[in-house]
Amino acid sequence: MNNLQTMLQAIRNAFTLAGGTPGLSALFLAGLIALWNAKSEQKKDTELLFRYALVVLLLIISPPYLYLVGRLFTGYAINNMFLWLLPLTPVLLKVFSDAAGAVQNRGNRVAFVLAAAVLLVLAGTSSFQPQSWRMVDNHYYIPEDTLRVLQRIRQIRLERGQEEMVIWGPEQLMNYARSYDDGLLLVYGRDLWEGTPDSEMHQIYEAEAYNAHLAMGDAPVFQEHMGPMAAELGCDMVILEKAPFEEAQQPWPEMLGDYVLQEVLEKELIYVYRP
């Protein structure tokens, strides 16, 4: 049930990002129903358009698409949701033109065209809305929880006057850190945990990086070793998640070697290097 709710929420979020207003979505659904009805009445000219619209729609917003593409290609599914406009435009044009053609009286036809234009205006625009661009920092569609942590990390970097800062943190954070702030350097990238190093071998990790990834995955167990490991990796900051400590019913450390707990956020702990 939770997985289904998550999937439906992902679809709603994707429509919002793509500019899919409720009004346009309703008009599109009504258009599909009209095409289906025309198809059932053996109107062959609508059959191809109906199949095209249905196939493209299912390929773009169906739960299998969001699940498979979203897991295999991070960010791709959401970033390409605007493609739902491909079936939207021809479907609405076809339905409105056929309906206008069915009106015999010229005056009524003009009134219908004006009413259709008003309906489209009230339905909303397909251009990107402000909620799609809530902040320039989030043009990579970084999850809000992660974005707030990255904003604080960037603020700390600027307060310390560092042009670059080496950080070591959980996968979710490391996944977006460089996209958000190119002043954040990582001890390893997503290719390490996804097991997909690039073909040109730009990322060749030493054993220390693999050990660091292992330790970050079970911080309550490895916490005594994380301070020295972070110093050896040249980290300026270490970020830990609270959840593993809470699940283990274990208090989180006030220090990791030479790293002092500076911030206790909603879900994360931020340690900074202070020799």
Mean confidence (pLDDT) of the chain: 76
- Does residue 171 carry a pLDDT above 70? yes
Do residue 154 and residue 239 come from a single domain? yes
Across the strands, what pairs with 165?
Answer: 184
How far is CA 123 from each of CA 100, 161, 216, 234, 246, rounded to the nearest angstrom?
19, 49, 48, 54, 47
Question: Are both 40 and 80 inside the same structural domain?
Answer: yes
Instruction: Clarify whether residues 149 and 258 are in a common domain.
Output: yes
Do 125 and 153 share a structural domain? no
Based on the structure, what is the number of domains in the chain?
Answer: 2
Distance (Å, rounded) from C-alpha 133 to C-alpha 139?
A: 7
114-155 pLDDT, tens digit per residue, is 776 776 666 665 544 444 434 444 556 788 889 899 999 999
Q: 94 vs 145, which has greater pLDDT?
A: 145
Coil, helix or strand at residue 91: helix
- Residue ranges making up the domain that contains 10: 2-132
Strands 237-241 and 255-256: unpaired
d(CA 91, CA 50): 8
- Evaluate whether 193 touches 213 at the Cβ level (below 8 Å): yes
Mean pLDDT of the 192-203 span = 60
* Most confident residue range from 7-11, 16-20, 98-102: 98-102
Residue 129 vs residue 234, higher pLDDT:
234
Q: Provide the pLDDT for residue 127.
A: 47
Q: Which of 93, 116, 132 is the last residue of a domain?
A: 132
Give the Å distances, CA to CA, from 88 to 24, 29, 55, 121: 8, 9, 12, 15
User: What is the Cα 220 distance to its own chain's centre?
Assistant: 29
Whole-number Å distance between alpha carbons of 227 and 255: 8
10-14, 135-139, 195-199: which has the minimum mean pLDDT?
135-139
Q: Indicate the pairing of strand 259-264 with strand 268-273.
A: antiparallel
User: At residue 84, does pLDDT exceed 90?
Assistant: no
In this structure, the answer to whether residues 143 and 268 fall within a common structural domain is: yes
Given a cut of 70, whether residue 41 has pLDDT beyond it is no
Q: How confident is the model at residue 80 (pLDDT cuts 50, 70, 90)?
A: low
> What sign does the dihedral 274-264-178-223 (CA atoms) show?
positive
Please indicate, yes or no, whether residues 56 and 167 belong to a single structural domain of this protein: no
Structure confidence at residue 4 (pLDDT) = 62
